[in-house]
Structure 1
């Protein structure tokens, strides 16, 4: 789709305006430009797709001011806009090539953007959450560049962000700064447009509270709020509604609550469930960007971009509440191998002890119930003893103090040998074998070895040894790590179907599975 400039660029169309508009036909020259197609018309002017002949051969978006507005405040605003936008040089902002007047006709020549509006890109491409967050971070960096040059956009929304393909990657282009130059105009001694004219710029859904209230002292935090609304829509979209229409003020109010209280209306309840499905860190981030009081928002669009990038890199967020454990948790997420080495020993100890105690308890109960169950009790006790012996033999091969210094290659060798021994020594007891393979499979996955983890986890599942949401989540993540997203989804869906008859649609495990499922949309 080619660049689509909405009427906010041009002003609302007015009756009779076409009579005094300098209309150009396809093929007609205009200075160094040749008109190819009329794109849009409004009360302030007209936009064309045109081709520049000299000194560079390229396609441009040519914006002309309506003749009847010459000599008015609108022309002053147009000139200030041209001067302001010409200062911007950023890969995520549509560039202004040329501005001036030909035969008394003011014009502005801008980069022609071939791409899709952000909302349409989301609907068509269905990017994953990581791609969506990275895109908003880039938009925020582009907005920060404009702010650093004294320009507020005032109308950041999906239609004003195009997603284009450049040098093999998709990236955003902010377009249509329109007449959003009040902040800059206040710094000019001459040609300053009145606030009443520029304050009408904006789209209510994406306006900050201070912009909706008509405040004159807007600053970059107003654009930060608009970015927050777009981020909210990106994160809460689903397959049926990739770009949902949301009450941003209601969402912001729910995010500001210290604890979740059930809304009385169905729409509010559904909105709350969607917000609760997001990770805590993204809720913190959204609450900061959408704060009612701008003093509580991110100080700049760059700060928002940096927090998004921190989330993607698993680093602590600026928006996070104060906590001593939170930075430690993020450190462990970034350093999985050392944590897995320590966790392997603990996991084996706890797992072996739990299985042994469970088997012993079962044996005692069965013996007490009836003589006929004595044989079964003996089998359970023997099974627990075999598991305990097996786990002890594995732990005996690795000194816990030494394990911290082992590299991944040695740990993989230990696990490979453990898996082979389990298949050989426990082949006559599939249930015990499944339990052991589940432990080893989870450890492989935590070490970033999904290809080794998956066969073990699948066999454990087939033996009925994966029984919890956490177990199924690990199995689905192993599928996803290997690019088998459909099987990851099927794993969660199948387990959900088992839980619904027991817990209902609002059961805590069912809601947790629904939240996990959103990760693959």
Structure 2
């Protein structure tokens, strides 16, 4: 123990006495002059004043003055000695190498092992002088031991602690990662993904609570997420040391270490707290992950006003708070969650609103009783069960039942469609043909038994509680239709399920069902029957969706030939098929015939037509005009279509999605990009609202918008839309699906246009790898896409450029003499890229041009 000599003691006493002779305004500067940078001396002055704090009442007024002076000196000296002072210092066997951050309790540094035994990085938190009290130091040792025993993969470890130059320090695990709120936005996590991540936080907090440890300062800064999506909570239990600090703090209200936004009312009131205080902070955190903004407007308020705000006024629900934000803010927040503002509001309303508000109840006993209960309520919401945060009202319970069983209800709706059609035939048949009526009754009974059997086989109880989707029930139905004996019923079921898959944008399954229907129709009705023509049209229509013109033309031509032979010229089926066939022929290369069909179909639109048929024909004709470089005429037809829809339907009807998207494409072609973006956003808003963010139509509109955003240099918005597109496509399909590859390719081309060849090469290579794996190395899409990968290697002067170009030419030759139209389109596109780039690429252009058909 160090013995203080009389000279040193007198120095301390003289400093304090001299300070007391001065006015308060003069004392701080004089104290700095007298103490200089001697931190040890300052510690001894402070210890002396602490002893005086325990003296009798006669010196109460003196002790208060000395204590205030000492803390003022400490504060001002520490402010002068900034974080850089500690860089290079050694604490135990660690050398401080970098300042990470400064918070309410102290500064945090990165340190590295420096004794040569092994390599290790740690975080060292050097606490403020308020914690240098001898009583606190003793309690601090006890806290360190408790926290050191708190072992969980989601909790940053506490290794050791002690005193350094009179300041307490803690050595902790160094965690690399982003704050949880920033991570969610950077990764564009959906609400569902955010809730899953928040569930990990609840697991960690529940573990600590079961070990009788309260965090006391849960906020985004103390919750990090690494690149793998693992959660790590920092400073667990360290805030408990705040209770051990001296009563007088720098702040007049006595709250030096709290984060008011996340602090519970009982913390603000300085009451004894328990685990329910952490539940409150978690509720505030969940709200921030959902909408990015606080439910309480507390900026600039005192602690007393914040407390009143949190206890006297009922906060807005998250959905309501979000809905009252400025429009651009709402758009930005929704985009970071991969959805439209309207969809986000619908997702927040009711259950999530109630869950957040239950967690942040002013009265602790009204909150969730534990972090586990909090998580269980979120899980109940995900399963569409009634949550604890809501009253168990009959209507609410009914809605939950409907949501849980929506897959069954969807198939039940198909059942109703089938039964209603057979019932109509049955009733009509009673008067026309009794035998036919009896057959229809028997057929309706078989259809009923078949579809009800799907419910039994897809029962979640029998399937070990695996979530059953509408698509999976329909797939089960496809596999079971062969058990139906009657071929007419089999045909009818295949058509119903094919159309249902088409509505779900499950195009591969839709084609599978229609091909089965075609086989049944040919065998039962005959190859030239109207029912067979209906199937041909359905197959061709699906292929048009894929832009597979070479696959769309044959079935559409077959349907047209049957209809033309057996139906009147003004029959809707014939006119509709003529229009769709004209569009396909034009794109397939039979332009003259395509023009004849398209124009004839458009001329036969009449008032007597059903709106759906008229709109399909107008759409096909507008596309034909734009493909034929009659852009202005195409725009005129599309505006006529929009006006027609607005006259017959409302302004948010799903029928507006197609013409709005096509208008955007048309305006992009004539380089009116701002107008194009206006129509893209209209189409996108309706599509997201009606179909959902992951629907193929929504995805296509979003990707179409990329080019116009790039043309106007709206690169930040483009990046945002790209991340939404890639995330939704991954969720709907998979990382290795060809649709995911399409989006990578689109973004790679955008990067190439901006001369960012490294990124372009990465994304185009991703597309190529996915196409090879899913479509095959010789598929027309794979061969066409390879031209862009070759281009980026040539532009970046890659060593592989020549060999890749040679390989690509071999791939094209393997498709001769009839090179697929998709490959030709890709060659024309890449030739245009070479022509617009600075430099001489004439040899490459000439080589590719040899594969193009002579004009």
Same fold (TM over 0.5): yes
Distance 2:185 2:83 in 1: 37
In the aligned structure 2, how far is the partner of 1:485 from the partner of 1:93? Answer: 43
Q: Offset of 1:344 from its aligned partner?
A: 3.8
Pick one of 234, 257, 279 that aligns with 1:201: 257
Change in 2 beyond 3 A, CA 1:451/1:204: farther
| CA distance 1:52–1:68, change in 2 (3 Å) | same
- Counterpart CA distance in 2 for 1:439 and 1:46 is 61
Q: Distance in 2 between matches of 1:59 and 1:33?
A: 8
Q: Number of matched residues?
A: 418
Q: 1:113 is paired with a residue of what secondary structure?
A: coil
CA contact (8 A) 1:36 1:51 kept: yes
* Structure 1 segment 480-499 matched on structure 2, within 5 A: 480=694, 486-487=698-699
Aligned to 1:92: 154
The answer to whether the aligner puts 1:31 opposite 2:92 as a matched pair is yes
CA distance in 1, matches of 2:208, 2:247: 20
**C-alpha contact 2:295 2:316 (8 A) present in aligned 1:** no
Whether 2:473 is the aligned partner of 1:411: answer no
Q: Which residue of 2 aligns with 1:217?
A: 272
User: TM-score scaled to structure 1, two decimals?
Assistant: 0.61
1:296 corresponds in structure 2 to: 366
User: How do 1:144-183 residues align onto structure 2 when only pairs under 5 Å count?
Assistant: 144-165=206-227, 169-177=228-236, 179-181=238-240
| In structure 2, C-alpha distance between the alignment counterparts of 1:154 and 1:225, rounded to whole Å | 10
**1:123-134 alignment runs, 5 A limit:** 123-134=185-196
Q: CA deviation at 1:227?
A: 1.2
Deviates more, 1:453-462 or 1:334-343: 453-462
Q: Is the 8 A contact 1:155 1:202 kept in 2?
A: yes
Q: Gaps (5+ residues) in structure 1?
A: 1-12, 186-191, 237-242, 361-388, 426-432, 494-516
Q: Name the structure 2 match of 1:508.
A: none
Q: Is the 8 A contact 2:422 2:444 kept in 1?
A: no
Aligned partners of 2:138 and 2:501: how far apart in 1? 71
Whichever structure has more strand as a proportion of its residues is: 1
TM alignment of 1:54-453, pairs within 5 A: 57-65=119-127, 70-72=132-134, 75=137, 78-101=140-163, 106-165=168-227, 169-177=228-236, 179-181=238-240, 192-193=244-245, 200-212=256-268, 214-236=269-291, 243-247=292-296, 253-255=315-317, 278-323=348-393, 342-349=412-419, 396-399=446-449, 402=453, 404-405=455-456, 411-413=477-479, 438-439=499-500, 441=502, 451-452=508-509
The question of whether the paired residues in 2 share the 8 Å contact of 1:275 and 1:283 is answered with: no
1:17 to 69, 74, 78: 78
Q: Distance in 2 between matches of 1:199 and 1:174?
A: 23
Task: Determine helix, strand or coil for the equivalent of 2:76.
Answer: coil
Task: State the TM-score, normalizing by the size of structure 2.
Answer: 0.40
**Matched-pair contact (CA < 8 Å) for 2:295–2:317:** no
- 2:104·2:256 contact (CA, 8 Å) conserved in 1? no
- 1:454/1:475 contact within 8 Å kept: no
Q: Using the alignment, how far apart are the partners of 1:280 and 1:43 within structure 2?
A: 37
Distance in 2, matches of 1:398 and 1:42, equals 68
User: Helix, strand or coil for the counterpart of 1:206?
Assistant: coil
Q: Is the 8 A contact 1:140 1:301 kept in 2?
A: yes
CA, structure 1 residues 41+160, in 2 after alignment: closer, same or farther (shift >3 Å)? closer
Gap change, CA 1:413 and 1:22, over 3 Å in 2: closer
Q: Which has the higher contact order (CA 8 A, sep 6+)?
A: 1
Q: CA RMSD in A?
A: 5.4
Change over 3 Å in CA distance of 1:488–1:294 after alignment to 2 = farther
Shift of residue 98, structure 1, vs aligned partner = 2.0
2-structure distance, mates of 1:326, 1:415: 37
1:288 match: secondary structure: helix
Distance 1:25 1:348, change over 3 A: same
Bigger Rg over Cα: 2
Rounded Cα–Cα distance in structure 1 between residues aligned with 2:511 and 2:688: 12
**Cα distance in 1 for residues equivalent to 2:96 and 2:75:** 24
Displacement after TM superposition at 1:60 (Å): 0.4
Q: 1:107-156: per-residue Cα shift (whole Å, max 9, x none)?
A: 32101010111222123111111210011111122222333333322221
The separation in 2 between residues aligned to 1:14 and 1:351, in whole angstroms, is: 84
CA distance in 1, matches of 2:181, 2:409: 40
